Structure formats: structure tokens, C-alpha cells
């Protein structure tokens, strides 16, 4: 049997000679099979717990059964001594279910090792550069920081993120086992570094429509759920605990640096197959942000998303500092602008995946880091609405009265967010959306003559 997207040849016995027939509806990654093209009924009596060592088996995901003379007792059964494998066939169709088997480890080539090393070094350098740039701004007097709030922010941020990531990662594991019906080995394939998995691993995992649908739901619930929680928490974090903007940006930057370095070290030093069981703990570092449907690039995609978000927040803050009045003088303006810049990223970007991934029908290809890079028109519409409604609420609940023309600003930002989210390289939209929104608000404030009704704006 050969599992994959191509038809699967099945070796049967008819009139004493082997005959090859086609199976056009191949299923892997769940507990059952689809209907064969033959007018037959297939029954699986027992799943082979181990396939290694059975003669004729090359790989777990490309399973072949070699029949020797005398090894077939009758046309309706197959007996292998010393192996716990029993297959019952009906109408001369031999089927073996390999669900739950660990994907075969494929050693990384030197080119793949170099590519991984370069990616991890770049990620760490980008995080370090951001932290050093902010530190230089503080030393140079360009950025003022309340150090008490900075210390409180770092401690609180680490505590919340450790709790959130651990809980999210654990809940995703439960979902994969109990809702998607993956085996413990398959879940560990997802939670591990995925570097040594076969190139067709993801295709085989998503071959069954029901499994594919539930994995989409898994990514939406746990990856985008964490995205919404983190950004919503950041907005409340700014208004409740750390009110000093400099302390907020600096604490987020150093927190991101620590996280990226820990993730990069875990991937590089524990990427070998011998450390496979250790990833039952290391996967907590990623907190289910490594999308399952990104395949072997899931963890690198998650790291790129985190870094792009931090750079996006930094550049948006720099644009606001350069173009708006001081936050001490215009606190109401800064509160509203912060919400208008970040809310489209928080809810618009998230709603696009929540709607587009399971319900998108009109799909189109995009560029990105992952094995599946596509978006849908339904997702784009959800991005627009997810940005528009929160921005309207922010304007309506502003602590200070706004100019009548300001009511058009949420519409303009929603259109801009939809365009930037759609056409930016995947995993960079966390950078592009806040930067473009901040630049647009700054231009609006200059050209229109203000946002708030206060004449000084």
C-alpha cells in the first residue's frame, strides 16, 4: 500500500496470481478509511502496533506488503508469524491501517541545517537589535522610562505569558487527542521541532477531510485565540498596570528577546531524534502558536510572527512620537490613537483566520513562510469587519469628544488593514498592519487638522 495523494495500488490475489487495483480515496491520520473505488466492503480487524521489521515495509507512510510463496494461507487473510498484524479482507482487498504510527525521521541535509541556523541567528539578532535600540534611546535621553513600572511590567508579563502558553499548549494537546483523534506519536510529531519529518508529512495528515477540518479549527482556536489574548492583554496592560509608554515598549521588547532566544536554543540544541521525548515539555515555549497547517515550518513561522509584531509596535510608537503631541499633554489623543492602531491587528487579523480558514471558499495564493500559503475572499471581508467594529467602538467611547470627520477614520483604517493583511508576506502582517495604521493616523492628524475636538489637536 502506498499512502499519499496518488492512487494507492492494492495487491490482491485472483486465480493464483497477483493483481493490482486502484484505491482512489486514500485516508491517513485518523481511525478509518474512505470508500474504495471497488464495489467492496473493507474491514480492519487489528491495527499493527509496530511496522518496523516486517519484510517489504519501507516506511510507515509508504507501507508495502511483500507476499512470498507460501506466506498466504488463503485469499481472505494474511498471516505473519512473529508479528502482531491481522488483516481481514473482503472481495480480495488487502488493507492495513497505519493510523497512529510515528512519522519516519528523515535526517536533515547540510543545506537544511545551514538554513535553519541562519534563520535562528537572524531571529535572535532582530530581537537583540530591537532591545539594544530601545536601550540606546533610553541612555541618549530620547525615551523616558519609569523604571518601577518597567520592573513590574517585566515580572507581570513573564508570569502571564508562562501561564497562558502552558495552558494553551496543554489544551491543544487534549484537542488533538480527543477531538482530532490523533495518536500520542502523531501529537508529538506536531509538538516537536518537525525538522526531520518527511516532506509529505503534512499532506498525509490532512488527507482525510474530517481531520483537515478539525485541524483548521485547532489552529483557529489555539493559535489565533492566543493572538487575541496577548494583544488584548497588552492594551489593558497599558491602561491598568504600566501606564508609562516607554516602560511598556521596553518591557515588551526584553520579554520578546528572552522568549525568542529560549525558542531558538530549544530548536537548535534539541532538534535530534534522540531528544524527541523532551519536547513534551519544550513545546510549552511555543504555546500553540506554531500552526499545525504550516507543516515543518510551523515553529519558525511562529517566531517570525512574534518578532514582526514587536518591530511593528516599536515602529508605530516611533511614528507616534515623531508626529503627535506629547502623551503627557494629550493623554486622550494617545489613548484613542493606540486603540485605532492596535485594534485592527488584534481583532481584524484574527477574525480573518477564524472565518477564512474553516469557511473560506474563494481562495487565492499568497506568499509566506509555511507549507500552505493561501487566503480567501471571505477571510478578507472578516478582516474588514473585525477592524471596523472595534475602531468604531473606540471612537464612540473616547474619553474626549472627537471631530465629526474622525468618524470616517475607522472606515479608512479598516480598508487599509484589509489591504496590508492580504498582500503582506505571511507572518509579517503583524509588522505591516500597525506601522501602516500609525503612519496613516499621523498623516490624517496633520492633514485633516486634528482628531479630537480640542483645538490644540
Grid coordinates standing for 115? 538554513
Structural contact between residues 333 and 371, judged by C-beta atoms closer than 8 angstroms: no
Continuous segment of H or E residues that includes residue 448: helix 429-448
Q: Quick one: which of 266, 176, 277 has its CA closest to 223?
A: 176
- Write the CB contacts of 157 (distance below 8 Å, at least 6 apart in sequence): 237, 251, 252, 255
What pLDDT is attached to residue 24?
A: 37
State the pLDDT at residue 39: 35
pLDDT of residue 352: 87
Contacts with 282 (C-beta within 8 Å, 6 or more apart), sequence order: 266, 270
* pLDDT value of residue 454: 63
Closest by CA position to 56, among listed 65, 69, 46, 47: 65
The pLDDT assigned to 214 comes to 92
Residue 57's pLDDT is 40
Q: How far apart are CA 222 and CA 214, in angstroms?
A: 12
Strand partners, 426: 368
What are 226's three cell numbers?
492566543
Kindly give the confidence (pLDDT) of every residue in the chain, 457 residues in length, as a single tens digit, with 9 standing for 90 and above. Answer: 333 333 344 333 333 333 333 333 333 333 333 333 333 333 333 333 333 334 344 444 434 343 333 433 433 444 443 344 444 333 344 444 444 455 556 667 888 889 999 999 999 999 999 999 999 989 988 888 889 888 888 888 888 888 899 999 999 999 999 999 999 999 999 998 888 888 888 888 888 889 989 998 999 888 888 888 888 877 777 667 777 878 888 988 999 999 999 999 999 999 888 898 899 899 999 999 998 988 888 898 899 988 998 899 889 988 988 888 877 778 788 889 988 999 998 898 888 888 887 787 888 887 766 667 788 899 899 999 999 999 999 999 888 888 999 999 999 999 999 999 888 887 788 899 999 999 999 999 888 877 887 644 4
| Widest Cα–Cα separation across the chain | 95
User: Where would I find the H helices in 324-428?
Assistant: 331-343, 349-359, 377-396, 409-423
Write down the pLDDT at residue 325. Answer: 86
Rounded Cα distance between 256 and 246, Å, is: 15
Strand partners, 21: 10
Amino acid at each position: 500500500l502506498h499512502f499519499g495523494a496518488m492512487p494507492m495500488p492494492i495487491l490482491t490475489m485472483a486465480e493464483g496470481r497477483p493483481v493490482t487495483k486502484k484505491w482512489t480515496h486514500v485516508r491517513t491520520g485518523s481511525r478509518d478509511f474512505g470508500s474504495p473505488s471497488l464495489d467492496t466492503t473493507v474491514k480492519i480487524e487489528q491495527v499493527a502496533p509496530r511496522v518496523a521489521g516486517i519484510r517489504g515495509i519501507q516506511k510507515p507512510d509508504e507501507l508495502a506488503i511483500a507476499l512470498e510463496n507460501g506466506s498466504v494461507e488463503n485469499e481472505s487473510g494474511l498471516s505473519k508469524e512473529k508479528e502482531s498484524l491481522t488483516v481481514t479482507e473482503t472481495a480480495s482487498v488487502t488493507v492495513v491501517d497505519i493510523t497512529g504510527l510515528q512519522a519516519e525521521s528523515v535526517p536533515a541535509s547540510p543545506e537544511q541545517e545551514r538554513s535553519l541556523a541562519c534563520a535562528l541567528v537572524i531571529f535572535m539578532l532582530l530581537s537583540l537589535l530591537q532591545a539594544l535600540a530601545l536601550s540606546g534611546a533610553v541612555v541618549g535621553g530620547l525615551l523616558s522610562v519609569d523604571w518601577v513600572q518597567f520592573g513590574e511590567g517585566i515580572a507581570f508579563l513573564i508570569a502571564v505569558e508562562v501561564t497562558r502558553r502552558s495552558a494553551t499548549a496543554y489544551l491543544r494537546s487534549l484537542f488533538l487527542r480527543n477531538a482530532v483523534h490523533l495518536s500520542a506519536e502523531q501529537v508529538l510529531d506536531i509538538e516537536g521541532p518537525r525538522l526531520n519529518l518527511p516532506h509529505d508529512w503534512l499532506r498525509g495528515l490532512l488527507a482525510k477531510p474530517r481531520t483537515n477540518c478539525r485541524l483548521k479549527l485547532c489552529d483557529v482556536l489555539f493559535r489565533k485565540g492566543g493572538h487575541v489574548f496577548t494583544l488584548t492583554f497588552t492594551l489593558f496592560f497599558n491602561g491598568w498596570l504600566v501606564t508609562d509608554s516607554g516602560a511598556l515598549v521596553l518591557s515588551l521588547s526584553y520579554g520578546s528577546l528572552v522568549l525568542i532566544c529560549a525558542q531558538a536554543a530549544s530548536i537548535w540544541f534539541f532538534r535530534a531524534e534522540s531528544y524527541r521525548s523532551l519536547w513534551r515539555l519544550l513545546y510549552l515555549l511555543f504555546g500553540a502558536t506554531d500552526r499545525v497547517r504550516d507543516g515543518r515550518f510551523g515553529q519558525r513561522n511562529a517566531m517570525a510572527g512574534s518578532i514582526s509584531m514587536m518591530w511593528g509596535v516599536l515602529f508605530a510608537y516611533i511614528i507616534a512620537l515623531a508626529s503627535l503631541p506629547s502623551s503627557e499633554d494629550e493623554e486622550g489623543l494617545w489613548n484613542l490613537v493606540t486603540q485605532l492602531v492596535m485594534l485592527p491587528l488584534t481583532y481584524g487579523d484574527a477574525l480573518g483566520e477564524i472565518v477564512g480558514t474553516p469557511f473560506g471558499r474563494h481562495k487565492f495564493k499568497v506568499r509566506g513562510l509555511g507549507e500552505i500559503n493561501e487566503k480567501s475572499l471571505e477571510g478578507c471581508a472578516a478582516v474588514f469587519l473585525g477592524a471596523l467594529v472595534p475602531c468604531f467602538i473606540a471612537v464612540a467611547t473616547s474619553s474626549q469628544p472627537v471631530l465629526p470627520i474622525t468618524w470616517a477614520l475607522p472606515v479608512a483604517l479598516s480598508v487599509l488593514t484589509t489591504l496590508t493583511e492580504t498582500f503582506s508576506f505571511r507572518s509579517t502582517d503583524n509588522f505591516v498592519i500597525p506601522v501602516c495604521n500609525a503612519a496613516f493616523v499621523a498623516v490624517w492628524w496633520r492633514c485633516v487638522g486634528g482628531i479630537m475636538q480640542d483645538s490644540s489637536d
